[in-house]
Structure formats: C-alpha cells, structure tokens
Amino acid sequence: LAFTGITANTLGLFSSPCLTKVELRVACKGISDRDALSKPDPCVVLKMQSHGQWFEVDRTEVIRSSINPVFSKVFTVDFYFEEMQRLRFELHDISSSHNGLKEADFLGAMECTLGQIVSQRKLAKPLLKQGNAAGKSSITVMDRKEKSLSSSFVSPQDFFSKSDPFLEIFRINDDSSSSLVHRTETVMNNLNPIWKTFKVSLNTLCSGDNDRELKCIVWDWDSNGKHDFIGEFQTTFKEMRGAMDGRQVQWECINPKYQVKKKNYRNSGIVILNQCKIIKMHSFLDYIMGGCQIQFTVAIDFTASNGDPRNSCSLHYIHPYQPNEYLKALVAVGEICQDYDSDKMFPAFGFGAQIPPDFKVQVLHLQHCVYPYDVR
C-alpha cells in the first residue's frame, strides 16, 4: 500500500540532522470477527503526531482472512533521542473490494512513544476502541536498528503446474519457536519469477548468529487466504553469505509429503539467491539496544546567585499558576529520558543550601534523608 500523499518530511516531523533509522515490525493477536461468515482482512496504519495532529506515515499490507496476523511490512522510522516521538498504530479491516480507510472498519488502536519501543525492544499492549479494550485483541511492536542484509531471490523452478508463488523466511528462536522475517511479493501465474530485492535487519534475520537456523517456505497464493504449500528448505545466514561477490547460492525446495509418497520425487523446484550484501550502520542507538542504561539525575542550585524565589525576576520564582523555567526544563528532558530508565527513579540532589539547625552550606538529598533520594 502506498503513502497517503503526505510525506513525513513535508510535515516537519524530521528536521534534525542527527538521526538513526529503526525498523518496526507489527503483529496482532485475537482480532474479533466482524460476523460469523467472514474473518477480518487486517491492515495496520502507522501514524505520527506533529503539532498535536496525527498524520499517516505508512501502512502494512492487507492480510486476508486472519485473526492473528503477522505483517511482513517493516516500518522504517527516523529515531531522534532528543525528541518525544508519539506513535499511533491503528488496526483496520479492509475488504477485498477497496483499500480506502474511510469505508474500512476500525478495529482498535494503540498509542506509545518510539522511545518506549526502542528501550523495551518488544512492546505488547491491548488495542483500544473509544477508550475501551477492543475485546481480547492486542498488538505487538518489535524494534530492530537498521543493519541490513540486501538479498535477491529467484523462485523455485520446474513446478508441475503454473502457480502464484511467494516466499516466507522464518528465524528459528532459542525456544524452537519461529518468527517471520520477510515475506516476498506474490508473482502471479509464473513458474520462474524473480522476487524483488529486499532489505532485512541482521538482528531480525538471525539475532546476530550466523549459524542460526532459518526456515524458508514457498507458497502458492490463494485469494481466500488458504495458500497451498509448495515446499521448504532450511539454511543459515552463513550459507547466504556465499552469494556475496557475484556468486549464487541455491537450495532444493522440498515437499515432505511428496518425498514420502513419490518414489522418483526430487524436489519442487530450486530457490536461487542471486545477491547478498551487508550494509553496516553504527549509531548512538547501538548502545541503548546493547543494554546501556541511561539514568536521569537532577541537581538543583540553591545558592543566592539565582535571586529570591519570591521575586518574579528570578529563574527560581515560584509562580502560583505555572511552572518556572527550571521546572519546564526538567519536564522536557525527563519525559525523554524516562523511557530509557529501567526503574523510572530519578536521583534528585540540591547544593548550596543552608539547612537548619546550623544553616551550613551543604549538598543534600532533596528528601533530606540518607536513602531513598530517588523521585518517581
């Protein structure tokens, strides 16, 4: 699906020259059926807030007849540590006759900050509709910093009949579960199609483990969502790297059922990796995603150099109706840093104050006790 015609740059969302791109993957679970006769055709729309308004950034593909969709679309978002970037993920049921959101059924939404996703790596929250839980449905957003593998595949060859093939790549996790890494486009009515070159994060592909098992499945697309299994094969990123420097790597696509039943069965075709490139990107986000903890510490200057807090000319002036400049700065910085602080506790100190009973100048915990001195 295409953009709505308003790009992020024209909205003034991304103005800083210092940025890192992050990849967001989306999956939903337990979407309620609209009626007993049909399952929803879900699509997730990503929106970003700018100047108090929500603007569409991108959207996933539509997955037909699914209540637990795992979307192959990867949202690439510019990440700014110094900014509060508010995101909204909207789930819509889009019928096969149109792709417009105006006629689609709104199923629920989830709001969060990009900082929350980056710091937690995987954020799962219930979908809300008009402020209430949308049944038992939930949405999970997973983050990966962009460190890309660029690949180009040729589909299986020598099928017995023409098909509409597409390829899915799954990562096998430590607990033996599998996670969808990439789903190619469907090439209609073609035995030897060439799928488009795509990029995928190495973290997403193999969690940084070159020997991690990858499972690749080729399907024959069906409009009702019940795709026909063609064949599968196992590989690793270590094997895929053989396609670098102009070489090719190929795998036999095997259907285990045919392998047992048919004596002369060899394979259901050959999958060829034409090209593999590694694009390395390093940024400040590497530290955060590597487990670096950021702690927000506050120190207040209580010396007389700031003037009497009862005087409106002082930056420490205690205004009866609005926060002073110091409080505004603390809130602005604290809102950003809190997403990356593991315990959400902020050490708060003061210095240059005269504390009774002896009124000597000293450094103190703002709660005026040895422990705790943290403020939530």
pLDDT digits (tens, 9 = 90+) for 335-349: 888 888 878 888 888
pTM for the model stands at: 0.54
Spatial separation of the C-alpha atoms in residues 87 and 119, rounded to whole Å = 15
CB neighbour class for 10 (10 Å; exposed up to 12, middle 13-18, buried from 19): exposed
| DSSP helix, strand, coil percent of the chain (3-state; round to 5) | 15, 40, 45
Spatial separation of the C-alpha atoms in residues 348 and 272, rounded to whole Å = 59
pLDDT digits (tens, 9 = 90+) for 94-132: 876 665 666 568 899 999 999 888 888 788 999 998 888
pLDDT digits (tens, 9 = 90+) for 311-340: 888 877 888 888 888 888 888 888 888 888
Spatial separation of the C-alpha atoms in residues 346 and 295, rounded to whole Å = 7
Instruction: Identify the structural domains of the chain with CATH numbers, from first to last.
Output: 9-145 (2.60.40.150), 148-279 (2.60.40.150), 293-375 (no CATH)
pLDDT exceeds cutoff 90 at 354: no
How far is CA 193 from each of CA 126, 127, 161, 371, rounded to the nearest angstrom? Answer: 40, 38, 14, 67
**CB count in 10 Å sphere of residue 114:** 23
Q: What does the pLDDT read at residue 15?
A: 36
Spatial separation of the C-alpha atoms in residues 193 and 216, rounded to whole Å = 17
Spatial separation of the C-alpha atoms in residues 141 and 143, rounded to whole Å = 7
| Torsion sign, CA atoms 93, 123, 144, 165 | negative
